[in-house]
Amino acid sequence: MKNFLPLATLALLGGCGSGTADDAEKKPDPIALVRTAPATLGAAADQVTVYGAAEAAPGAERSVIAPAEAIVARIVAPTGTAVKAGQAIVELRPSRTTATDFAKASSEAAATAAAFARAQRLRADGLVSDADVETARAAAQTAQAARAHLGMAGGALTLRAPVAGTVQGLSARTGDQIAAGAAIATIAIRGDLRARFGIDPALVQRIHTGQALAFNSVAGDAHATSSVTGVDSSIDATTHLASIYARVPAATGVGPGEPLRAAVSVGGGGAGGITIPYAALLDDGGRSYVFVVKGGAAHSVDVSPGNSIGDRIAIRKGLQPGDQVVTQGGTGLEDGMKVRTGAMPAAKTDDK
């Protein structure tokens, strides 16, 4: 009986030790299911997609200008309207200042006309010289021209299209006051348009005049092949892009201001580089990275992406040809996580 307690104690401790070892046994590491694709050598940045709009070519537009300070009474042809030469664009009425100026000019015109008529009668009687008559004539003509310049006879003025074309840039609204000499709108001459596209300033140096360019309207109902007619490396303060220009063939039916997209080559015809499926590229607060599978594990690799080419994107730095990058399942991975490749399960749908 003396040895019973020690032996029972040892047995109990042995049982406890065995249970602790079982509980401490490590659980297997999770294995994520992913799909991969190789990084391949290909034409790096052969083409980029650029966006812009059609606009009047230089010298192919005419301005519609207010001759005097005026109030917009009615917009007859808003922006985008196709007009004929002489067609009404906007109706104006004089501002208070212009109405006063017009009254003064009318009074002056009447006074100088009367003075001229009097000088003619006096000359017929031999009381003034020919020089006096010519002076009176010049004064009357000047006063008439000043009155006509205000253009507000009858208290209203209709501004008309100087040429046939399309109204552009008419942003005034009924009731707005327009300064004297201000351009209210421009008329883009039909069939004489160009396209202006914004492009990354880092790429504009690879574009040259005469280079082929294929474009289409964003709506998709117009397609054309043209060529680059101009390159402007100046950076637009609003878009932070440089500009390239191309002629818009009249047969496309594209109108001024219509949004366009174009595909233009920037690769120099043969420069090679690494490309991966666009789906493999991940972003974390501006950090671009991919997961590369090696030895059954996914490793996070920082990359420097380039231009997209269809459903692929060029990688300037970070990958080698043949690297297996994760194209599906990457958003749930952590660096070093074990993975296996295979078909991804179909997305579940709610049955109703």
* Closest to 57 in 3D by CA, of 203, 245, 238, 214: 245
Burial 60-78 (b: 16+ CB within 10 A, else e): bbbebebbbbbbbbebbbe
Q: What is the pTM of this model?
A: 0.42
User: If 0-12 CB within 10 Å is exposed, 13-18 middle and 19+ buried, where does residue 35 land?
Assistant: middle
User: What are 143's two structure tokens?
Assistant: 């006063």
Q: Is 8 helix (H, G, I), strand (E, B) or coil?
A: helix
Which domains are present in the chain?
Answer: 31-45+271-341 (2.40.420.20), 48-58+188-265 (2.40.30.170), 67-181 (no CATH)
Query: What pLDDT tens digit does each residue of the chain (352 aa) get?
Result: 444 444 444 344 444 444 555 555 566 778 899 999 998 876 544 678 899 998 877 777 888 998 888 899 999 999 888 899 999 999 999 888 877 877 888 888 889 999 999 989 988 888 889 898 899 899 888 888 877 776 666 678 899 999 888 888 898 999 999 998 899 998 887 667 889 999 988 888 888 888 888 888 887 667 788 889 999 999 999 989 999 999 888 777 787 788 998 888 776 444 457 889 889 999 988 899 999 999 999 999 999 987 766 677 888 889 998 899 999 998 889 999 999 987 666 555 555 4
Q: Is 10 helix (H, G, I), strand (E, B) or coil?
A: helix
Rounded (5°) CA angle 157-160-165: 165
Please give the helix or strand (H or E) that residue 38 lies within, else none: strand 31-38
85 Cβ contact partners less than 8 Å away, ≥ 6 residues apart: 161, 162, 163, 164
